[in-house]
């Protein structure tokens, strides 16, 4: 699985970068995006509703060792 770390970045950066990655990937390949922006949760859900290239497989939030909340989005190339 590919990884994209956009912790610290604000919207629109997480989706702009995720779209660029997905564009380069083969169908069936997956990408894990790490973000610290709480707004990324509804935004990724909204994006994949109309996206022709991305499917959202999973979303979760977890704490990193420093106690910072991290939002994880797992995407698959259509």
Q: Does residue 13 belong to the site contacting another protein (CB under 8 A)?
A: yes
Active site residue 48: no
- The distance of Cα 64 from the centroid of its chain, to the nearest Å, equals 16
Q: Does residue 76 belong to the site contacting another protein (CB under 8 A)?
A: no
Q: Does residue 61 belong to the site contacting another protein (CB under 8 A)?
A: no
CA 48 to CA 67: how far, in whole Å? 29
Residues of the shown chain interacting with another protein in the complex, contacts defined by CB under 8 A: 10-13, 15-16, 19, 38-39, 42-43, 45-47, 50-52
Residues classed as catalytic: 11
């Amino acid at each position: 699985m590919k990884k994209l770390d956009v912790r610290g970045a604000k919207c629109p950066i997480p989706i702009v970068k995720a779209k660029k990655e997905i564009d380069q990937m083969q169908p069936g390949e997956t990408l894990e995006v790490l973000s610290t922006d709480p707004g990324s949760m509804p935004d990724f859900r909204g994006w994949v509703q109309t996206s022709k290239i991305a499917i959202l497989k999973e979303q979760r939030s977890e704490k990193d060792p420093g106690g910072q909340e991290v939002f994880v989005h797992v995407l698959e190339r259509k």
